Amino acid sequence: MNPTEWFTEQVPAAGTAFSLKIKNKLHEEQSEFQFLEMYETETFGNLMVIDGCTMVSTRDNFFYHEMMSHPALYTHPNPKTVWIIGGGDCGTLREVLKHPLVEHAVQIDIDERVTRLAEIYFPELCESNGDPRAELKFIDGIKWVKDAAPNSVDIIIVDSTDPVGPAEGLFSAAFYRDCAACLTENGMVIQQSESALLHLKLIGEMRDAMSSAGFGHLQTLFFPQCLYPSGWWSATIASKADLSKFREHDSANKPFETVYYNVDIHKASLAQPEFFKKAMALK
Ligand code: SAM
């Protein structure tokens, strides 16, 4: 392939790669934390790449952003305060703010440049940044959670890059213990948990770390995301409270539009594949 016409993300350990045909390179820079690239693609709109990994495209980001937000927000009985750790493209923040119960949503990304570039290349994802309930912070999410007071947040959404570089500590038992300490009674963490096909060991380790931090209830949910390795992604919810039910009636009557999420998709995303149940020793 001609590298000037295609962007390719290789996953050498899996022997796979995903490519998008590129029209133009729009921007590149080395920020204080990571290498940021923006492309215009032939068929997927704009594309954000961080340290060589695809993050967001105009065409398919709705799968990820909707599934990182709505299942958790419709599982919590009364989500008033939500923190998004990472999420600098602002797409998760936009989805969270669609919920009328939410009174305060804070996005905490370590790298302000990601948000500044998203404002230019993904303005639709940033359209709720001016909502009076929204607050943007540019600091390390690990420190933010460590310094937080007990009982200060209902839902923590960890919308981070892969567990390397600045995001590595976001997948640790120490981080989950700090999350457990600042969550309210029915509080929960939801974190992107990579691909069950390619990263099963990582998901197992992440679930073990969440359990060891005191979260007795875990729920991994599955959804498509063609931009990410294998095209099949997951997120894992951890809580001290029961996760077996969600606000099904509210979800079925959601007062906002989505592209992918609805009550049936929510239910379907909770179904656990046979190999996953076996690997995670689930009943
Ligand atoms: N959906 C994407 C994915 O899974 O590939 C994640 C997108 S979002 C752009 C990831 C963000 O996590 C980046 O903007 C990065 O700056 C942020 N990030 C990484 N480590 C962080 C940390 N320790 N604290 C806060 N933000 C962090």
Please give the pLDDT value at position 2: 57
**What confidence tens digit (pLDDT) does each residue in 41-77 have?**
999 999 999 999 999 999 999 999 999 999 999 999 9
Please give the pLDDT value at position 259: 98
pLDDT confidence bin for 20, thresholds 50/70/90: very high
Query: Could you tell me which residues are annotated as the binding site for spermidine?
Result: 65, 89, 159-162
Residue 203 Cβ < 6 Å to ligand 1: no
Q: Which atom of ligand 1 is nearest to the CA of 141?
A: 24
Tell me the C-alpha distance between 221 and 36, whole Å.
29
Q: Which atom of ligand 1 is nearest to the CA of 167?
A: 20
Tell me the one-letter amino acid at 177. R
CATH code of the domain made up of 6-57: 2.30.140.10
Please give the pLDDT value at position 3: 57
What does the pLDDT average to over 108-124? 98
Please give the pLDDT value at position 265: 98
What does the pLDDT average to over 112-129? 98
Residues of the chain within CATH 2.30.140.10 domain(s) are 6-57
Annotated catalytic residue, options 60, 111, 154, 159:
159
For residue 222, give the nearest of 75, 67, 96, 16 by alpha carbon. 67
Task: Indicate whether 1 pLDDT > 60.
Answer: no
Residues of the chain within CATH 3.40.50.150 domain(s) are 61-281
What is the three-class DSSP state of 233? strand
Asked if residue 33 lies in contact with residue 166, where contact means CB atoms within 8 angstroms, the answer is: yes
Measured CA distances, 259 to 9, 28, 70, 119, 270 (Å): 26, 30, 12, 21, 19
Residue 160 Cβ < 6 Å to ligand 1: yes
For ligand 1, the distance from its centroid to the CA atom of residue 127, given in whole angstroms, is 19
For ligand 1, the distance from its centroid to the CA atom of residue 278, given in whole angstroms, is 30
For ligand 1, the distance from its centroid to the CA atom of residue 274, given in whole angstroms, is 31
Tell me the C-alpha distance between 242 and 153, whole Å.
18
For residue 161, give the nearest of 136, 194, 138, 139 by alpha carbon. 194
What does the pLDDT average to over 14-42? 97
Name the average pLDDT for the chain.
Answer: 96
Residue 95 Cβ < 6 Å to ligand 1: no
Q: Which of 37-46, 152-161, 165-174, 215-224 has the lowest mean pLDDT?
A: 165-174
Please give the pLDDT value at position 165: 85
What is 61-281's CATH topology?
Rossmann fold (3.40.50)
159 is catalytic: yes
pLDDT confidence bin for 161, thresholds 50/70/90: confident
What does the pLDDT average to over 181-203? 96
| Radius of gyration of the CA atoms of the chain, in A | 18
